[in-house]
Amino acid sequence: MKYAVRALGWATKIFWIFIIAFSATSVYSAMNVRMSFGEPQLSLSNEILVISIPLFINNSGFYDLSELNITVDVMDYNGSLVLTSTTFVPLIPRDSSVETMHNVSMSLDDIISKAEIYLFNDTIFNLDMSMKLNFARVVPFQVSMNKTIPWGAPLYNFSVGGISYDYHNVTHQRVIIPLSFENHSPYFGVDGTMHIEMYNDGGEVIASGTSSLDVPSNSKYEGQVELIVDVLKLTPSGEMHFYFETSMFSFGPVVMSYG
Amino acid sequence: MVEKGNAKLFLRKILPKVFKATLLAVIAYLPMYFLSALISPLQPLFPWYEPLTNIFAAVFIFFLVVGVFFSGTVFQYVFGVARMLVLMIFFIYVLNGGIINLTVPVEGESINIMLNVTVVLAMLVLICLLGIAKNVIQAIDFMSGKAETKEM
């Protein structure tokens, strides 16, 4: 009995020492892990746009970090995935640094198909970020964050007002097209050009023109474009095609009918 | 004369126990006090920690003190088992069953942190179980020793 009691007493003491030592060194090691991101780089392959963000991890603690998994998901208002990115690092040994790339991939098809929604409608994006790792191979650790990002449309409420016609000469007329939109984007201004093509009801281009745009964030644009149209080709109804070429995006045609 | 002798005997028996119990209570309370002081700046992150820690500390110290006063009897080991059980429940409670979930507000956003310390908790529970086993064996040893003395 005495030996059993003594053995249990020693086992308890050894376990206590081990746990206290492990807890103290774990806290010290966790404080000595440094993580930083570098300059993002863009690349395009197989119609997938990839933004690569260099990731540096310096583990100068006492324990290995394993199975590091960083995931970023961006979903739009109806829950469909806009972009996703995952980085997996199997092992970061103690007293070592690891440099890897965190790749954020976007399908160009998706971007183009949804561009019209994002350019003309305000919406929200849900950002889910999570980082998982195994500390010292026995303590799984996870940090996650959920953020809602409001998206302001740069061409919100783009509309064409009542078209008016003025006499230019015997063969041509001046068409005045009032345009307006609001740049709701808090991130960038709409600066560049807007190209307009006017079609008659036969599908023939009857006039075209370009207007410059300089609409800062959170401001309204109200302007008009004048086109010279051949009177013989002008029909009471038709279509107008708008092409936008700005520092942030190129988009077109936006088709609007008149008449 | 007899009463005076009894009082002396009582003091000689009880005083060292009081002294030992006080010393053990202080020693047992110190780590809990320092842990509370260490955690107090992070109190908003551990809202459940403070109130029950004091109760656990009080119960643990109570069993420790009672165990000292009952030393030399089988109850010493009974209270020892109770003390280890309280400690085990305390660890399970404070470590939230091994999964610690924290929500840290950072610049208007909340960051969720999940720490899985199941392995550490398992070791702490094992220590408590070893302590319980030790007390049970000591109690059996004590009882068998007493029975042997009676037979002789």
A138–B115 C-beta distance less than 8 A: no
Taking the CB of residue A59, how many other CB atoms lie within 10 A of it? Answer: 22
Nearest by CB to residue B112, choosing from A12, A23, A145, is: A145
Decide which of A117 and B46 is more confident. A117
Share above pLDDT 70 across residues of chain B, in percent, rounded to a whole number: 88
**Same-domain pairing of A165 and A145:** no
Task: Return d(Cα B40, Cα B75) in angstroms, integer.
Answer: 36
Interface of A with B in 19-48 (CB under 8 A): 19, 22-23
The number of angstroms, rounded, from the C-alpha of B17 to the middle of its chain's C-alpha atoms is 18
B126–A15 C-beta distance less than 8 A: yes
Q: Is A183 contained in some domain?
A: yes
Nearest by CB to residue A8, choosing from B120, B133, B140, is: B133
A238, containing H or E segment: strand A238-246
Nearest by CB to residue A12, choosing from B112, B134, B138, is: B134
| DSSP for residue B1 | -
Nearest by CB to residue B119, choosing from A139, A145, A146, is: A139
- Tokens describing residue A182: 């609001």
Using the predicted structure, report yes or no on whether residue B73 has a pLDDT greater than 60: yes
A9–B134 C-beta distance less than 8 A: yes
Residue at which a domain ends, from A151, A166, A190: A151
**Same-domain pairing of A129 and A39:** yes
Chain A residues touching B83 at Cβ < 8 A: none
Which residue range(s) make up the domain with A104? 34-151
The CATH number that applies at residue A214 is: 2.60.40.10
Chain A residues touching B35 at Cβ < 8 A: none
Q: Min CA distance, B128 vs chain A (Å)?
A: 8
pLDDT, tens only, A30-79: 888 888 888 877 776 766 777 788 889 999 989 999 999 999 888 887 77
Chain A residues touching B141 at Cβ < 8 A: 1-2, 5
pLDDT, tens only, A131-148: 999 998 899 999 998 888
Using the predicted structure, report yes or no on whether residue B147 has a pLDDT greater than 90: no
B41 forms bridges with which residues in the sheet? none
Residue at which a domain ends, from A129, A151, A173: A151
For all residues of chain B together, what is the average pLDDT? 83
Domain boundaries of chain B, sorted by first residue: 2-151
Q: Is A197 contained in some domain?
A: yes
The number of angstroms, rounded, from the C-alpha of A247 to the middle of its chain's C-alpha atoms is 16
Q: How far apart are the first and last CA of chain B?
A: 34
Task: Return d(Cα A133, Cα A227) in angstroms, integer.
Answer: 62
Chain A residues touching B142 at Cβ < 8 A: none
**Low-confidence spans in chain A with pLDDT less than 70:** 44, 46-47, 107-109, 111-112
**Same-domain pairing of A105 and A177:** no
Residues contacting residue A60 through CB under 8 Å, at least 6 positions apart: A32, A33, A34, A94, A95
Question: CA A235 → CA A143, A162, B48, distances in Å?
Answer: 63, 16, 76
Q: Looking at residue B29, what is its pLDDT?
A: 84
Share above pLDDT 90 across residues of chain B, in percent, rounded to a whole number: 24
ipTM above 0.90, yes or no: no
Q: Min CA distance, B14 vs chain A (Å)?
A: 27
Nearest CA in chain A to B114: A142
SS3 string of A61-115?
CCCCEEEEEEEEEEECCCCCEEEEEEEEEEEECCCEEEEEEEEEEEEHHHHHHHH
Nearest CA in chain A to B105: A145
Residue at which a domain ends, from A133, A151, A169: A151
Task: Return d(Cα A146, Cα A127) in angstroms, integer.
Answer: 6
Q: Is A29 contained in some domain?
A: no
Selected residue of A142, A148, A149 to mutate for chain B interface (largest B Cβ count, 10 A): A142
Task: Return d(Cα B91, Cα B82) in angstroms, integer.
Answer: 14
**Same-domain pairing of A145 and A38:** yes
Q: Is A210 contained in some domain?
A: yes
Q: Looking at residue B3, what is its pLDDT?
A: 61
Count of domains for chain A: 2
Q: Looking at residue B118, what is its pLDDT?
A: 94
Q: Is A3 contained in some domain?
A: no
Q: Report helix, strand or coil for B86.
A: helix
